[in-house]
Amino acid sequence: MRGRFVTFEGGEGCGKSTQVKRLAEHLRSKGVEVVLTREPGGTRLAELIRGLLKDEREDPPCDRSELLLFLAARAQLVRNVIVPALDSGKWVLSDRFSDSTFAYQGYGRGLPLDSLRLMNCFACEGLKPDLTLLLDVRPDVAAARMRRREAATNTSADRIELAGDDFHSRLRAGFLELAKAEPDRMKVIDANGSPDEVWAQILQNMV
């Protein structure tokens, strides 16, 4: 039997990485074979592309080359990791996937959504998630979490995280719009609460 493909989406600091790990542990404890991956990344080449996207030196990618780099990483991940895992009956959980492209490059950067959909479909060979959990947080909550994380890990925000408030509010509205257009696939989770409160809602959506 083919496995299920579940993706986690939302802006920075909404809790994707925290909750995707929790879901992986939960499924494994029930005997489900799980492949946990993230975007951009998840293969050697795709992780190299991730490094290029986060590069903050001179000559940052323009909007279109940023898009193409994300899609190149995704094509590699889909073909070499996600599809083989699903075909062998494993579940695949991904920390970000196509909806991040529509939200960041479409609603955020302003590239045309119809082109993004076509190009993304090409990169994914038509693969779509079976279920997408959109972790929605208020901007002030996300910002406070990011500040705490930066202090705790002694890191600073990267190029994309540093885009302005305006960009981040377009992003949030964009994600919510995407969920509204595909309510069966994409579930909105109120991610303002504690990790346990968020997890409880995720479990409710796993049935």
Ligand X SMILES: Nc1ncnc2c1ncn2[C@@H]1O[C@H](COP(=O)(O)OP(=O)(O)OP(=O)(O)O)[C@@H](O)[C@H]1O
Query: Which residues bind to ligand X, rule: CB under 6 A?
Result: 10, 12-18, 145, 148-149, 194-195, 198
Smallest distance from ligand X to CB 113, Å: 22
Q: What is the 3-state secondary structure (H, E, C) of 138-186?
A: CHHHHHHHHHHHHHHHCCCCCCCCCCCHHHHHHHHHHHHHHHHHCCCCE
Cα–Cα distance, 196 to 202 (Å, whole number): 10
Nearest to 117 by CA among 182, 50, 36: 182
Q: Which amino acid is at 192?
A: N
Contact 84, 2 (CB under 8 A): no
> Residue 94 — φ and ψ, nearest 5°?
-125, 130
- Considering only residues 11 through 70, tell me which ones interact with Mg ion, judged by CB under 5 A: 17
**Which partner, ligand X, Mg ion, none, binds residue 13 by CB below 5 to 8 Å per kind?**
ligand X
Smallest distance from ligand X to CB 96, Å: 8
Closer residue to Mg ion in complex, CB, 110/195: 195
Closer residue to ligand X in complex, CB, 127/136: 136
**Which partner, Mg ion, ligand X, none, binds residue 79 by CB below 5 to 8 Å per kind?**
none
Is 205 a binding residue for Mg ion by CB under 5 A? The answer is no
Cα–Cα distance, 111 to 102 (Å, whole number): 9
Smallest distance from Mg ion to CB 164, Å: 20
Smallest distance from ligand X to CB 161, Å: 7
Is 88 a binding residue for Mg ion by CB under 5 A? The answer is no
Interface residues with Mg ion (CB under 5 A)?
Answer: 17
